[in-house]
Amino acid sequence: MEIKILGTGCPKCKTLEKISREVVEQNGFEANITKVEDIMEIMKYNIMSTPALVVNEKVIIKGRVPSAEEIKEILSNI
């Protein structure tokens, strides 16, 4: 699965990236995680607030940092 963390580098964006990487590693998910910081690239996803979690090109969460448990549940159901 392809996971993208959209955010310009704010603390919340970094937290979402860290939690996402931990969840993938701890649960053995096959995933490629990419951090997208380019504002023009982020705008293509039509989101108004970051951070955002994109899985397989679908925006799953935007504007907040979910818990590790929430990310695990989302990734388990994909």
**Residues with a known catalytic role:** 10, 13
Whole-angstrom distance, CA of residue 24 vs CA of residue 72:
8
Whole-angstrom distance, CA of residue 50 vs CA of residue 47:
7
